[in-house]
Chains A and B, each alone.
Chain A
Amino acid sequence: MCLGIPAQIVCIDDADRMLATAEVGGVRRQVNIICIVDDHHPPESCVGDWVLLHVGFAMSRIDAAEAEATLGVLTELGEMAP
């Protein structure tokens, strides 16, 4: 039920209504971006962003640095293993 999938915003369809097109594994769908837009992230700036998509709404902007950091911990763990 709480499923979310990573998707990339490819274009803004209607900035006033917070509608954008997102692509997931080659499939495109219109999504609502109101939850990832704020003063620092106007709609136009969202193009190219990776987001977490849930029932047609972009609910979070995926943080590339945090993803790298998580994987970095696991790489270190692997290096420590005998």
Chain B
Amino acid sequence: MKYVDEFRDRDKAAALLHAIEAVTEEIRPAKALQIMEVCGGHTHAIFRYGIEAMLPDAVELVHGPGCPVCVLPMGRVDDCVAIATQPGVILVTFGDAMRVPGSQGSLMQAKANGADIRMVYSPTDALAIARNNPEREVVFFGLGFETTMPSTALTVLEAERDGISNFSVFCNHITIVPTLKTILDSPDLRIDGFVGPGHVSMVIGSAPYEFIARQYRKPLVISGFEPLDLLQSVWMVLRQIADGRAEIENQYARVVASGGNAAAQRAIDAVYEPREHFEWRGLGSIDHSGVRFREAYARFDAERRFVVPGVRVTDPAACQCGEVLKGALKPQQCRVFGTDCTPETPMGALMVSSEGACAAYYRYAAKTV
């Protein structure tokens, strides 16, 4: 496939690994360098291609919070189930969200119990269901980072333009930058550099990360998702460390423009406003890390249209997702990894989706644990 196969080339990967070894020797770190890949898509690719095992022992990858399905708190899943089980409602969702456990079960279990829950590929598919079922209330479970935010916003704008009144969104969209700041401010932080999210950056551009270089003196390299992209980005982060630089660089320039995508940003600004705070599973409440609909789009806001419990449910006490997210623990060091917490019956955030660090470890690396 074009723009995929050429970024999986074996010889180029070998050359990059050689360069990574050389720059690591040049740095001679006293203890292992920790590089956080922020995005769950990167985490999945790193495990799928065995990238972590190829790196020198002195380079460790820490798997960050960039899996929106994983960090969705139980209370929000409960709210979603409450909406889905109201009479006349069709709840429409991306497939990833089906198995996320709430305190009263998952959407999958609600569907098994008779709720009309449908999986789609795009929010526009949800709008089509609303058009075809004018007598039903169709609610789209909107979640994801800035990558996905414009698609939900543009779908709401289309619903407004076409006067579709039986469509609304349960909005759980979140933003990555306040969460990166929380991680950087964490006292047990040991991160030496970041592999930055590729598709979030395609929307927001590189400017929002500048504070990481300026204020915190950490390098960040925006990366693509193929093996060569990830290896090159790790090499670029190490190169910055060796040179004593802290800059925001872009390895994924074929897709990411420095200013991001203007049309997508306009849609985001038109439809959403920041929430004062939003709850993240494993990380707790983070200021300004979520968005809700502006007053002008209140009628598309499922939280205003339906009564939701809105109860905050604490993470199970045994979970150590927070420590894993900040790099303080490896997934298999968590006390419930692979025993009480597995991909089939996830207890913690990071075991939920295939993009979660624990689920990826379990699937691809558990044999070596």
Contacts and interface: CB of A to CB of B under 8 A. Distances in A.
Size category, A interface: 35 or more
Interface of B: 1-4, 6-7, 9, 11-12, 14-16, 18-19, 39-41, 66-69, 94, 96, 121-125, 143-145, 147-148, 150-151, 154, 197-200, 202-203, 225, 228, 232, 251, 253-257, 261-264, 267, 353, 355
A57 B150 contact: yes
Interface string A14-54: 00000000000100000010111110000000000010101
Contacts of A2: 39-41, 66, 144-145, 147-148, 197-200
B144 A37 contact: no
Given A62-B3, A63-B254, A55 B12 contact: no
B263 A37 contact: yes
A52 B199 contact: yes
A28 B97 CA distance: 25
B257 A60 contact: yes
A32 B148 contact: no
Interface string A40-82: 0000000000101011110110111011011101110110111
A66 B255 CA distance: 8
A22 to B, nearest CB: 12
Contacts, number: 135
Contact of B251 (A64, A70, A80): A70
A74 B15 contact: yes
B10 to A, nearest CB: 11
Nearest to A24: B1
Given A2-B199, A59-B203, 10 more contacts: A32-B154, A55-B122, A55-B123, A55-B151, A60-B256, A60-B261, A62-B3, A70-B232, A74-B228, A77-B19
A19 B15 CA distance: 42
6 contacts: A1-B68, A6-B1, A36-B263, A55-B123, A56-B124, A62-B255
A56 B148 contact: no
A32 B158 CA distance: 11
Contacts of A75: 12
Contact of B254 (A25, A35, A57, A62): A62
A-B pairs, 7 with minimum CB distance: A56-B122, A78-B15, A67-B254, A2-B147, A6-B3, A66-B254, A66-B253
A18 B228 CA distance: 34
A80 B255 CA distance: 27
Given A37-B263, A56-B125, A57-B150, A69 B256 contact: no
Contact of A57 (B3, B14, B122, B262): B122
A69 B125 contact: no
Most chain B CB atoms below 10 A, which of A6, A37, A54, A82: A54
B148 A1 contact: yes
Nearest to A51: B255
Contacts of B6: 67, 71
